[in-house]
Amino acid sequence: MAFKKDLSIEFAGVKCLNPFFLASSPVCNNYDMIAKAFEAGWAGVFYKNQDSVPEHEISPIFGVTDMGGPWSMFKNCEHASQNSFEQNAEFMHRLKRDYPEHRIFATLMGGSDDDWKKLVKMAAEVGIDGVELNMSCPHMGRDNMGSDVGCNPDLVEQYARAARSVTDIPIIAKMTPNITNMIPSAMAAVKGGASGVSAINTVKSIIDIDKDLLTTEPVVNGKSAISGLSGKAVKPIALRFINEMAQYPGLKDVPISGVGGVYTWEDALDFLLLGARNVQICTSVMEYGYRILEDIISGISYWMEEKGFEKLDDFVGMALRNITTPSEFTRTFKIRPAFDHDTCIGCGRCYVSCYDGGHQAIDWDDELRRPSLNTDRCVGCHLCQKVCPVPGCITPGEVAFDEGATPENIVYKKSFR
């Protein structure tokens, strides 16, 4: 697709061709893979996680739940790169030489201050653009590595400080979502010397239980474990954390890299609109390949054209002002659903859901097989619109203000698909 806007952006002081990087994972584990991705337009990589622990990988490694279309969720129990550090250093060195405009951040995971210093120093000496500190892998089973670190702000700060003590290049701290509040860990990382944060790593999970083997996926010799969930299901969780960090005054100028469930240009744009200046992608690449970037770039370019934006800085973070807290909502009106009896196919799903899951506000005509609204009972929840299988059949109708409330101009969503 030929139509493209300028999507270049600066992230943590590094100029990037676009905000789209491969996330530290199997999708970027050697020279050939990353070269192919760069040729396909990816601006950079967070090079597959490296640590000092000898790896002996399990088999199989993954589990999926598919609700039609792309994977709905993807569970992995993969550990770090199985290449030697020397091998990876050689790959990264050649990639920097052959693709000077593309960016390489090495994702690393240490288990002690010395371990971190050694890893970061070795990576920085390769001449890469930055490092990412993995403080968030959810299936380590150690309290000095992985998500147990990310849940412990003191340890986050200590490790960040150790990393910063040996290099000046950008340091990004990767956060875990397996925590109630991400802010203390993010603040600790910055305090320790991190230049920015990335979020989220995968979510601790168990997917479906196999009804014969009586365990979840991946099944490793009859057993499984809690391990990291990614894919479409985790995007809402990621966006929540990105929003909270971007809105937090203490992190206002800290660059954020958004990760979690990006498949389409719309998903990627969600992260940018909530203030992320970099977007990492893994699961959708594992499912469909590097080629998915084509439609992300094309789709965002067409959206920018439609809205009159020329560069990403024109709109990064633009949705933040419209994400507030429930206590701030206007609570003076109800929007009544309108039913279009011509496009209605008479399925009665709105009636079923309104009765059993709502406020019994829909009357059903058994003869005509059509709904009608009981305005006395309707609370305006729009569950009926959400279950209607026909686009444009149930739509927001009249805006009714509560008795005594002052009518005002109400902004509401009018188009659904």
- Catalytically active residues are 137
Examine residue 263 and tell whether it contacts other proteins (CB under 8 A): yes
Examine residue 302 and tell whether it contacts other proteins (CB under 8 A): yes
- Closer of 1 and 368 to other proteins (Cβ): 1
* Nearest distance in Å: CB 314, other proteins: 19
Scan residues 380-399 and list those touching other proteins (CB under 8 A): 391
* Nearest distance in Å: CB 31, other proteins: 21
Residue from 2, 222, 253, 367 that binds other proteins (CB under 8 A)? Answer: 2
The structure tokens listed for 324 are 């507030």
- Closer of 178 and 280 to other proteins (Cβ): 280
- Closer of 234 and 300 to other proteins (Cβ): 300
Examine residue 411 and tell whether it contacts other proteins (CB under 8 A): no
Examine residue 279 and tell whether it contacts other proteins (CB under 8 A): no
* Nearest distance in Å: CB 245, other proteins: 27
* Nearest distance in Å: CB 81, other proteins: 25
Looking at 99-107, 180-188, 274-282, 292-300, which segment touches other proteins (CB under 8 A)?
Answer: 292-300
* Nearest distance in Å: CB 169, other proteins: 34
Scan residues 323-382 and list those touching other proteins (CB under 8 A): none
Task: Give the Cα separation of 254 and 385 in Å (integer).
Answer: 40
Residue from 184, 193, 299, 317 that binds other proteins (CB under 8 A)? Answer: 299
Residue from 57, 288, 346, 386 that binds other proteins (CB under 8 A)? Answer: 288
- Angle formed by the axes of helices 183-192 and 235-247, to 10°? 60
Examine residue 64 and tell whether it contacts other proteins (CB under 8 A): no
What does the binding site for other proteins look like in residue numbers (CB under 8 A)? 1-3, 68-70, 263-266, 288, 291-292, 294-296, 298-299, 302, 391, 417
